[in-house]
Amino acid sequence: MTHLADLLGRLVDLPVVDMTGLKGSYDFVLQMTPEDYRTAMIRSAIAAGVALPPEFARLADGAANDSLFAALQAQGLT
């Protein structure tokens, strides 16, 4: 789950801490709106140092990740 926490941290550009204590590999699906997915990908690219046009950064600024957090809740991961 450490890998998932690292990935989520890049997607939401916030610190994410794995407090599950779970080890091993898991398969699950996180259902997100296309808008939240796009925002997550933009934030991930920015965090990785990818130069994006200013309009992409504006899309990510102030955008919520409601469907991502709902998807995590549905999996019992919040």
Question: Quick check: 1 and 20 in contact, CB under 8 A?
Answer: yes
pLDDT digits (tens, 9 = 90+) for 18-42: 998 888 888 888 888 888 888 888 8
Residue 63 pLDDT > 80, yes or no?
no
At 7, the amino acid letter reads L
5, HSE (Cβ side, Cα atoms, 13 Å): 13
pLDDT of residue 50: 92
Q: What is the value of pTM for the model shown?
A: 0.69
Angle at 40 between CA 9 and CA 57, to 5 degrees: 110
Q: Which two tokens stand for residue 33?
A: 């709106």
pLDDT of residue 60: 80
